[in-house]
Chain A
Amino acid sequence: GDSVTQMEGPVTLSEEAFLTINCTYTATGYPSLFWYVQYPGEGLQLLLKATKADDKGSNKGFEATYRKETTSFHLEKGSVQVSDSAVYFCALSDTGGFKTIFGAGTRLFVKA
């Protein structure tokens, strides 16, 4: 079945460092891909999405490109801030099954 694999955390960075969180997926068909973020004590929020191959999703300085040839959707940010500390989930939509499949999540700590 469909699945999402993302790098294990936690990831600890200093403020203004470059961030990459790797994500790869396995899917039949052509799913949409997402990054969701969860701040402490809250539900998930959509960070960005891409709906077809070579699409780039971007939001709040974060970017990810839908790479069909490598089945990847890596999250990047050029300069992280303390406020970016959260758990990041890579996900794909299984629209035929009316559900979203999530990776295990990667916790990011950003130090001032």
Chain B
Amino acid sequence: KAGVTQTPRYLIKTRGQQVTLSCSPISGHRSVSWYQQTPGQGLQFLFEYFSETQRNKGNFPGRFSGRQFSNSRSEMNVSTLELGDSALYLCASSIEGDLTYEQYFGPGTRLTVT
């Protein structure tokens, strides 16, 4: 079974631009979460989707948004990029009904904002 895939793996953008990152979960997984990883803040939760509905959102500004499609694939968008948005963005999927909420992570998208 294929793992979680994220595209692109690397991205360089200029301040003020916007960016869209994509995540395909493991087949059969309907929960998709996004995390931002930076050296200073560690792993911070962005949002979680299940069956196209956002069930939870972290403490990030409205410039960060996401969505999930009917095939469970998810995208996140960051508008008006700032230098501080440079980070590794990780996507994770979980099995429906797994009460332990074990997560399977993708390799991440490394975003650099210049």
Contacts and interface: CB of A to CB of B under 8 A. Distances in A.
Interface of A: 32, 34, 36, 41-46, 49, 51, 89, 93-95, 97-105
B56 A97 contact: yes
B58 to A, nearest CB: 8
B99 A95 contact: yes
Interface in B14-69: 31, 33, 35, 42-43, 45, 48, 50, 55-56, 58
Nearest to B39: A105
Contact of B50 (A32, A46, A98): A98
Contacts of B43: 89, 102, 105
Contacts of A46: 102-104
Contacts of A45: 105
A51 B100 contact: yes
B105 A99 contact: no
Contacts of B106: 43
B102 A98 contact: no
B101 A100 contact: yes
B101 A105 contact: no
Contacts of B107: 41-43
A104 B42 contact: yes
Nearest to B50: A98
B100 A49 contact: yes
Interface in B61-114: 90, 92, 99-108
Contacts of B56: 97-99
Contact of B33 (A34, A41, A99, A105): A99
B45 A99 contact: yes
Nearest to B99: A95
10 closest A-B pairs by CB: A43-B105, A93-B101, A32-B100, A102-B43, A44-B105, A98-B48, A43-B107, A98-B55, A104-B42, A99-B45
A87 to B, nearest CB: 10
Nearest to B9: A41
